Chain A
């Protein structure tokens, strides 16, 4: 069956505006209480936003809660538990929030004192606004991904491969959503894409992984 001509893939880019929420915690119980009520966009920022803001490319932990547990509370066990949280497994931020609260409550239950920090190491809850804009670049055929992906900015990779999971039906990345439109011709490629875990890579590494994957698939 002939493939119906698909819409071209519009390459977009994004930028985050970080916004203070005014909420901060000095101990683990306060942290837990704020997490229960904080807006989902703040959770999103503290798990995913770190990819788009100043950070070192080889962080010890991949989310802000684990980093705070280690460096402000000096609680290595909690840091390791929180550090294992992979938001990819929780497409719904409410599920992620529940898991986060469970880990903290379990730790509080096991603690004789409430872990606390110095006042200059408070946990500051931040939220963000994402601004999406056009790059005026389009991809007409899947094969063009081989050359297009390496020239995408890191934030563009973030938008299409990570942020997409909050926007698309089935919580998939934009490349897969586009490729599925070609009458199942690229299902195997979509399956390969689904094996890429974006959370434990930097955006530069992720861009390279995707480049390698598309290059390997299209044999170029």
Chain B
């Protein structure tokens, strides 16, 4: 065997790779198409950039197609995203028409590929209307929803649901996200790619260089939270936890690393609150990083002593997975997907308030052996459960399930 799978075998073991080959054996030659709306940037593109070549290497005729749109189209789909996550966003009919017309204008270029495919995965809401526009399709169509739709804004969900209902199945990341739909709803947890820039091993020299470049002293303990400047991520609560911990660990530094505030007014407001709360403390580093600063995030996570994800609401929380993969126990908010990853007292601590976060941070900083032991458990937990190879296996399983019927048991010969 040569290629990408061989590189993964060095991390997950040959048995895992063999299993992928065995499962894929009955899918050899089938035509599978993934459709989303961007080839670069964002978690979905990152996953597809790896999943599609891996499927090809397993003998599946996999393709990745992208629909294109103008600014108004993306404004509309961004509104979908926010509304599906629960924000009360009203989308005017004129914008919905632009959305539908944009997808329709992409149809001709994709028609042959999509109607001839055995399985089509439509990622997130952007390409959803394609199904209705291609009634001559022959394969199974699946909507893969990467968004936390546990409490969607109902008027927008009603519109999206009318587009989803015709699909043969959908896939959600957590059971709490699944919505009543007239078809099978599979559950597949997200994953991280251990070979990506964000997660690959870095040598100590590079980590040192990046950290020093930010003015952070690697000789002193570092508390880190990597996340957007969003109230649900509670960055101000992290500053409170930092101050409470610093009383006992005076040389502690805090790093809050997030994306640059661009056109998101709420993010700008939260960033302002965070700056205010930091009160020009030289030991609080607020870093605004571009979307492609993967290696820098990687170095920050590797250099941290304490990793926080003190969210009050969270979809899955891949930053938790990333930190755990680097052998760090995570102090996380007791919510959403963090609960699946942070096994209280084993791979980190679940907390509800800044005081709880400070208490656990203090404990870990004064019990370095325990911190190391929990970090090792955290890494093993990710290795067993949240890497891309497991994600791929579950995609293969869903494909087999779709092609072989709905019984409780499918035996492949």
Indicate whether B189 reaches chain A with its CB closer than 8 angstroms: yes
Please indicate the chain B residues that have their CB under 8 angstroms from the CB of A153 in the complex.
15-16, 18-19
A53 to B189, CA, bound (A): 10
Indicate whether A109 reaches chain B with its CB closer than 8 angstroms: no
Min CB distance A198 to B, Å, is: 18
The main secondary structure of chain A at its interface with chain B is strand
Indicate whether A176 reaches chain B with its CB closer than 8 angstroms: no
Please indicate the chain B residues that have their CB under 8 angstroms from the CB of A129 in the complex.
397, 401, 406-410
Indicate whether B184 reaches chain A with its CB closer than 8 angstroms: yes
Please indicate the chain A residues that have their CB under 8 angstroms from the CB of B377 in the complex.
56
Indicate whether B152 reaches chain A with its CB closer than 8 angstroms: no
* CB-based contact B15/A122 at 8 Å: no
Please indicate the chain A residues that have their CB under 8 angstroms from the CB of B381 in the complex.
56-57
* CB-based contact B397/A19 at 8 Å: no
A41 to B404, CA, bound (A): 18
Q: Contacts A120-B335, A133-B23, A133-B25 known; A15 to B346 CB distance under 8 Å?
A: no
Q: Which of the residues B22, B343, B406 comes within 8 Å of A133, measured between beta carbons?
A: B22
Min CB distance A125 to B, Å, is: 8
* CB-based contact B385/A54 at 8 Å: yes
A56 to B384, CA, bound (A): 9
Indicate whether B80 reaches chain A with its CB closer than 8 angstroms: no
A128-151 contacts to B (CB < 8 Å) = 128-136, 151
A145 to B213, CA, bound (A): 57
Q: Which of the residues B18, B397, B406 comes within 8 Å of A131, measured between beta carbons?
A: B397
Min CB distance A48 to B, Å, is: 13
Please indicate the chain A residues that have their CB under 8 angstroms from the CB of B184 in the complex.
19
Interface size on A, residues (CB 8 A): 31
Q: Which of the residues A16, A18, A56 comes within 8 Å of B346, measured between beta carbons?
A: A56
Please indicate the chain A residues that have their CB under 8 angstroms from the CB of B279 in the complex.
none
Min CB distance A141 to B, Å, is: 23
Indicate whether A32 reaches chain B with its CB closer than 8 angstroms: no
Min CB distance A69 to B, Å, is: 15
Q: Which of the residues B15, B180, B346, B412 comes within 8 Å of A22, measured between beta carbons?
A: B180
Please indicate the chain B residues that have their CB under 8 angstroms from the CB of A130 in the complex.
408-410
Please indicate the chain A residues that have their CB under 8 angstroms from the CB of B150 in the complex.
120
Min CB distance A121 to B, Å, is: 9
Q: Which of the residues B15, B175, B187, B347 comes within 8 Å of A151, measured between beta carbons?
A: B15
Indicate whether A13 reaches chain B with its CB closer than 8 angstroms: yes
Contact mask for chain A residues 140-179; partner B; CB cutoff 8 A; 1 contact, 0 none: 0000000000010101000000000000000000000000
Indicate whether A126 reaches chain B with its CB closer than 8 angstroms: yes
Q: Which of the residues A19, A41, A58, A122 comes within 8 Å of B176, measured between beta carbons?
A: A122
Q: Contacts A56-B343, A122-B176, A151-B15 known; A131 to B401 CB distance under 8 Å?
A: yes
Please indicate the chain A residues that have their CB under 8 angstroms from the CB of B186 in the complex.
17-20
Find the residue from B15, B346, B394 having the highest chain A CB count within 10 A: B15
Identify the closest chain A residue to B24 (Cβ).
Answer: A133
Indicate whether A29 reaches chain B with its CB closer than 8 angstroms: no
A51-68 contacts to B (CB < 8 Å) = 53-58
* CB-based contact B189/A22 at 8 Å: no
Q: Which of the residues B22, B393, B404 comes within 8 Å of A135, measured between beta carbons?
A: B22
A1-46 contacts to B (CB < 8 Å) = 13, 15-20, 22, 41
A135 to B25, CA, bound (A): 10
Contact mask for chain B residues 367-387; partner A; CB cutoff 8 A; 1 contact, 0 none: 000000000010011001110
Indicate whether A124 reaches chain B with its CB closer than 8 angstroms: yes
* CB-based contact B408/A17 at 8 Å: no
Indicate whether B203 reaches chain A with its CB closer than 8 angstroms: no
* CB-based contact A134/B413 at 8 Å: yes
Indicate whether B340 reaches chain A with its CB closer than 8 angstroms: yes
A151 to B13, CA, bound (A): 11
Please indicate the chain B residues that have their CB under 8 angstroms from the CB of A122 in the complex.
176
A15 to B411, CA, bound (A): 11
* CB-based contact A20/B23 at 8 Å: no
Min CB distance A177 to B, Å, is: 16
A13 to B23, CA, bound (A): 9
* CB-based contact B335/A15 at 8 Å: no
A122 to B336, CA, bound (A): 11
* CB-based contact A22/B22 at 8 Å: no
Indicate whether B91 reaches chain A with its CB closer than 8 angstroms: no
A13 to B412, CA, bound (A): 10
Q: Contacts A19-B184, A131-B412, A132-B412 known; A120 to B22 CB distance under 8 Å?
A: no
Indicate whether B185 reaches chain A with its CB closer than 8 angstroms: yes
Indicate whether B56 reaches chain A with its CB closer than 8 angstroms: no
* CB-based contact B19/A120 at 8 Å: no
Please indicate the chain B residues that have their CB under 8 angstroms from the CB of A18 in the complex.
175, 186-188
Q: Which of the residues B180, B396, B409, B412 comes within 8 Å of A134, measured between beta carbons?
A: B412
Indicate whether B178 reaches chain A with its CB closer than 8 angstroms: yes
A167 to B187, CA, bound (A): 26
Find the residue from A20, A22, A55 having the highest chain B CB count within 10 A: A20
Min CB distance A94 to B, Å, is: 15
Knowing that A120-B150, A129-B406 touch, tell me 13 more A-B residue pairs with CB under 8 angstroms. Answer: A17-B401, A18-B175, A18-B188, A19-B184, A20-B178, A41-B408, A54-B385, A56-B343, A56-B347, A120-B336, A131-B23, A132-B411, A134-B22
List 19 A–B pairs whose Cβ atoms lie within 8 Å, in order of A's numbering: A17-B398, A17-B400, A17-B401, A18-B186, A56-B347, A56-B377, A57-B380, A57-B384, A120-B335, A124-B176, A124-B178, A128-B408, A129-B397, A129-B401, A129-B407, A129-B410, A131-B397, A132-B411, A133-B26
